[in-house]
A = this chain, B = another copy of it.
Amino acid sequence: MAQVKLLGFWYSPFTHRVEWALKMKGVEYEYIEEDRHNKSSLLLESNPIHKKTPVLIHNGKPICESMFIVEYIDETFKGPSILPKDPYDRALAHFWAKFLEDKSTVAIDILLHLGEEQEKAKEEVYEMLKVLDNELKDKNFFVAENFGFADIAANLMGFWLGIFLEVSGVTDLVTSEKIPNFCAWRDEYVNCSQVKDYLPPRKDELLVYFQLARARIEAAASAKK
């Protein structure tokens, strides 16, 4: 039995965070793709409270919630540090990771909703982007000069959000006129080696996956009319 197993969805930014940390640390692991509509008994037993991916199983013990898994990987395996060592910088990294985590579901709502509900999600995402735009003035990383924990939590905003906007036909939300610092940060983010080397090598596949998801949502809404 593999010592390290990861249960996840290949298209999920949350699963991606864990894979990213495992790859950064050079940890060998067995990846198990879950079925959203028929979750495995291993997943349900491993995360009985939330029944959600990702779950890391290490030596038979389950760890849940993407950023807690990333922290566990950082503390357990050798390799480059993900969380800063300094307690103040650690508190900042936790703060920004939580901010990005708490607001991230709203970005997904842009993909999942139409009409008024989508407009509401766009407004909420824009409020968040303005905060990030202010924070990322002259900054490439969230904490100090180093890539780390909060930057991994930022993958939904730095990479997935662009795909959600593209497949949803939303072109007026993220523009360099409105949020120049965020746009500059995002361009740096997806192109810097600490990120680029670990992003899914299948942007085309992700696009197709979310295009199909969006098409199903639009078709279901049309059928209701």
Q: Which residues of A contact B (CB under 8 A)?
A: 49, 58, 61, 63-65, 68-69, 71-72, 75-76, 87-88, 90-91, 94-95, 98-99, 131
Which residues of the partner chain B approach A63 to less than 8 Å between Cβ atoms?
Answer: 88, 91, 95
Q: What's the least CB distance linking A136 to chain B, in Å?
A: 13
Which residues of the partner chain B approach A75 to less than 8 Å between Cβ atoms?
Answer: 87, 90
Tell me the bound Cα distance from A63 to B90 in angstroms: 10
Q: Which of B65, B99, B131 contacts A98, CB < 8 Å? A: B65
Q: 8 nearest interchain CB pairs? A: A75-B87, A72-B91, A63-B91, A68-B94, A76-B87, A68-B91, A72-B87, A61-B88
B72–A90 touching, CB < 8 Å: yes
User: With contacts A61-B88, A65-B95, A65-B98 known, what are 14 further pairs, Cβ within 8 A?
Assistant: A49-B131, A63-B88, A63-B91, A64-B95, A68-B91, A68-B94, A68-B95, A71-B90, A71-B91, A71-B94, A72-B88, A72-B90, A72-B91, A76-B87
User: Which of A75, A88, A91, A94 is most buried by chain B, counting CB atoms within 10 A of its CB?
Assistant: A91
Chain B residue, CB-CB nearest to A49: B131
Tell me the bound Cα distance from A85 to B224 in angstroms: 55
Which residues of the partner chain B approach A88 to less than 8 Å between Cβ atoms?
Answer: 58, 61, 63, 72
